[in-house]
Amino acid sequence: MGVNTIDPGQFERAANMLKAIAHPMRIAIIGLLEEGQELTVTELHENLGIEQSTTSHHLGILKDKGVLISRREGKNTFYSLKHENLKNIINCVSMCK
């Protein structure tokens, strides 16, 4: 799909997603959610070594901007990538030096 075939709304959504991703902790969250993995807030904050409230804040931003989806199971909420291609963006950027 060429740039000429994308409507301005798609550019706006893409820019908002990239802005949401552009934080070291959010990149780390996406890294943990690669390979279709689902994790809870508790699993994420333990893996990242940050407070649960901070993890929840970052998850809220990523979910609000369409980067993550969530599903509820009992008392737990599981988070996963909404678009598997997002991991390719992270991998591509991490290879740039």
The residue assigned the tokens 């943990």 is 32
Residue type, 27: I
pLDDT of residue 59: 97
Six token digits for residue 22: 């552009």
Q: What 3-state class would DSSP assign to 70?
A: strand
Query: Which domains does the chain carry?
Result: 7-95 (1.10.10.10)
Mean pLDDT of the region 11-38: 89
Say what percent of the chain tops pLDDT 70. Answer: 94
pTM of this structure: 0.83
Mean pLDDT of the region 33-37: 82
Six token digits for residue 13: 């959504």
